[in-house]
Chain A
Amino acid sequence: MKRRILALSLVLVLLLTMSSLAQQKGKLEIFSWWTAGGEAEGLQALLDLYQKKYPGVEVINATVAGGAGANAKAVLKTRMLGGDPPDTFQVHAGHELIDTWVKTGFMESLTSLYKQEGWEKVMPKGILDIVTYNKEYWSVPVNIHRANVLWYNKKIFAENNLKPPKTFDEFFKVADALKAKGITPFVIGTKEGWEAAHIFETVLIGKLGSEGYKGLWTGKTKWADPKVTDALETFKKMLTYVNSDHPARTWDEACSLIVDGTGAMTIMGDWAVGYFYAKEFKDFGWALVPENTGIFDALSDSFGLPKGAKNRTNVINFLKLLGSKEGQEAFNLKKGSIPARTDVDKSKFPEYQRSCMNDWLKDKIVPSVMHGAAASEGWVTEYKDVISLFIVRPDVKTTQKALVNVAIKNGVKQ
């Protein structure tokens, strides 16, 4: 009996050593809210690449759908606070990453990985800045999205001899002309609550310019500024041109109105391009939101390394892949965004992304607030609530006062 136990344990030891000799084994759990369309395909392309390199690793693709990531973030928070972090998770670069996870000490610094892989040289300063805290890097950006794009139906514009508006005055002229033809000039979907706040953010950029807008989140620009009043008045006027059923629609359901030709323009981030491709809709045109010329309203999805990740080596391998040229190309071709690296082969990308890449290099970059780059999550939530109310009760004075209060509450002197 004793012998048998001895023999068994020997076999076990042998097996264990053998498995540790083999190339990377074990698991890798990736947590994200990419469940639909181009995003899921992009993630899958990345995972396929990873599996090719490390076939022994079992990849767990943990996703939580819905609400522009809101549901996923809730699940993530309970897991992190409960001491059960996923190996790596999707997080918007900027304040969402820094305020929620880095300052509170949940993440590991990735500075040495950045140095080792030479990412400092290939990613622009605008993006490096928003993943930096205390001179250390905290996550690897995989893509860049642009939030301040005006999408329009080319056919409708051509038929009515219209040009995409460059200023808000032009916008209202175009809108009036379309309205007279019985076409809904401006389509939006406000079902999930964040869409209107997203649009208002681009109006703010238009009225305040890049520095003025950035100052709103640091205290350099006051929320009581008359330019903010002007932005609210403009937004109020824009809302008189929208589709009446906007509370029932999500952003993609609003884009479907452009596809079927009942609506002419919308403002949405460039994930809309993925939607248009998926619908095989070719007649979409793009311009910048009025008065946003030369400004790139950016957001970025990134992945980091939480403290206590169970499969550290596997995560680091995954992060290396994320930051590599091939990883960024594979992902962004499917997702419809542009790579954070500036040295990828542009010719592989479709027309919209090529133009976006050019702008990325020359435009002034401002962080998107609705997508976690410009302010803490608490501020974003309250800002979103105020604008949601504005849609139904467009009272400029109370809304501006509420925005001022929200800023004060979040520690920015007014």
Chain B
Amino acid sequence: MQKDKLYSFLFLLPSIILIGIFVYGFIVWTGFISFTNWNDIFPDFSLVGFRNYIELFQNLRFQISMKNTLVFTFLFLISSLIIGFLLAVLLDQKIRVENIFRNIYLFPMAISFIVTGVVWRWILNPGTSGNPIGLNLIFDKLGLSFLKSGWYTDPKIGIKAVVIAAVWQMSGYVMAMYLAGIRGIPSELFEAAQVDGASTWKVYRYIVVPLLRPITLGAIIILGHISLKIFDLVVAMTGSGAGFSCDVPALFMYDTTFRGNHFAQGACIAIILLLLVGVLIIPYLTYSLRSEVKR
């Protein structure tokens, strides 16, 4: 027993060391940088306390990008969950070529965010009013020109246009999770409900949705941390947009660190993003750890 423990520890040691240095070590390092005065290409490690954080929260661009992230996360989560769930329910109706549909819905997830971003930049490029392109052109041809809009170029829409692309990419993944979940529900429950004369609506409302709660939670965690630190999709699709209407903290972090040489400010943003994701992840981790211990 003792020996077993020693061996397993030895086998884990390399990855513990590597993760310790390259993940946790650098997190601590970034945290340290965020309290220094490193505002040039050359490091300056004199400590300045919370000055960087205070300045950051006063920064208008940061305020806008934080707001954008929250809007993005909220809309992205809600729409991905709803669309994913609906797709899963539809696919569960024992249709004939389920395999093909499942793959079609799942494929977007296999593409990188960069590709999605470029493609949707073209689709949602409004063109000029006399010479529409992309989706606007389709609306024009269909006689639905009242639906035309500036998409991501319109400061009032901005980040919400990026949500469309993100939902397109990730809702198939949510569907796959839900479908597996629905399939995992014991059929006795459905049969019992049928015997009791429950309507389809009631079956979903009182059996399926409650039993899928762990999956919903998992999906929220996965999508939530993707959307809080989203970078690649926004860079490829819109950049920071008109008046920063598409800006997100990760993009600001890149700009301020590598264009402006404000390494300390960049580190601040990184830490804030980490805390945001932590708020989401830590309750989930403790929850799942606790349920594992129970088992």
Tell me the A residues contacting B by CB distance below 8 Å: 70, 73-74, 77-78, 80-81, 99-101, 104-106, 190-193, 243-248, 257, 262, 376-378, 380-382, 385, 388-389, 391-393, 402
Contact = CB atoms under 8 A, between A and B. Distances in A.
* B interface secondary structure, majority: loop
B240 A377 contact: no
Contacts of A382: 260
Contact of B243 (A101, A192, A257, A391): A391
Given A70-B259, A78-B258, 16 more contacts: A74-B259, A81-B41, A99-B40, A100-B40, A193-B240, A245-B128, A247-B153, A248-B126, A248-B150, A248-B153, A262-B130, A377-B259, A378-B261, A385-B244, A389-B243, A402-B60
Nearest to B252: A385
B199 interface: no
Contact of B41 (A77, A247, A262, A389): A77
A75 to B, nearest CB: 9
A75 B245 CA distance: 26
Given A70-B259, A381-B256, A392-B243, A245 B127 contact: yes
A381 B265 CA distance: 13
Shortest Cβ-Cβ A-B pairs, 9 listed: A392-B243, A381-B260, A74-B258, A247-B242, A104-B42, A247-B153, A248-B153, A378-B260, A381-B259
Given A81-B41, A245-B128, A247-B153, A193 B262 contact: no
Contacts of A100: 40-41, 261
A35 to B, nearest CB: 17
A391 B260 contact: no
B262 A378 contact: yes
Given A73-B258, A247-B153, A377-B260, A385 B61 contact: yes
A105 B42 contact: yes
B155 A388 contact: no
A200 B42 CA distance: 30
B13 to A, nearest CB: 27
Contacts of A105: 42
Contacts of B259: 70, 73-74, 377, 381
B65 to A, nearest CB: 11
B245 A245 contact: no
Given A192-B239, A247-B241, A262-B128, A381 B255 contact: yes
A8 to B, nearest CB: 39
Contacts of B130: 262
Interface in B10-43: 39-42
B155 A247 contact: yes
B68 interface: no
A191 B239 contact: yes
Q: Helix, strand, loop or mixed for chain A's interface? A: helix
Interface residues of B, number: 32
Contacts of A389: 60-61, 243-244
Contacts of A245: 126-129, 150, 153
Interface string B229-241: 0000000000111
13 contacts: A100-B40, A190-B242, A245-B128, A246-B153, A247-B155, A248-B125, A248-B150, A377-B259, A380-B260, A391-B243, A392-B242, A392-B243, A402-B60
Nearest to A384: B259
A171 B168 CA distance: 46
A385 B242 CA distance: 11
B139 interface: no
A74 B254 contact: yes
Contacts of B150: 244-245, 247-248
A385 B60 CA distance: 9
Contacts of B242: 190, 246-247, 391-392
A159 to B, nearest CB: 19
A393 B240 contact: no
A91 to B, nearest CB: 12
A243 B60 contact: no
Nearest to B55: A409
Given A104-B40, A391-B242, A244 B129 contact: yes
A100 B129 CA distance: 43
Nearest to B254: A74
A377 B125 contact: no
Contacts of B60: 389, 402
Contacts of B125: 248
Nearest to B43: A81
A340 to B, nearest CB: 25
B39 A378 contact: yes
Interface string B56-70: 000011000000000
Nearest to A381: B260
Contacts of B244: 385, 388-389
A227 B153 CA distance: 32
A354 to B, nearest CB: 35
A89 to B, nearest CB: 13
Contact of B239 (A74, A193, A262): A193
A388 B40 contact: no
A78 to B, nearest CB: 8
A24 to B, nearest CB: 31
Nearest to B245: A392
A244 B128 CA distance: 8
Contacts of A380: 260
Interface in B126-170: 126-130, 150, 152-155
B49 to A, nearest CB: 17
Contacts of A248: 125-127, 150, 152-153
Contacts of A385: 61, 244
Contacts of A81: 41
Contacts of B39: 378
Nearest to A390: B243
B138 to A, nearest CB: 17
Contacts of B61: 385, 389
Interface string B254-278: 1110111110000000000000000
Q: Which of A248, A377, A392, A402 is the most central at the interface, judged by chain B CB atoms within 10 Å of its CB?
A: A248
A381 B263 CA distance: 13
B239 A243 contact: no
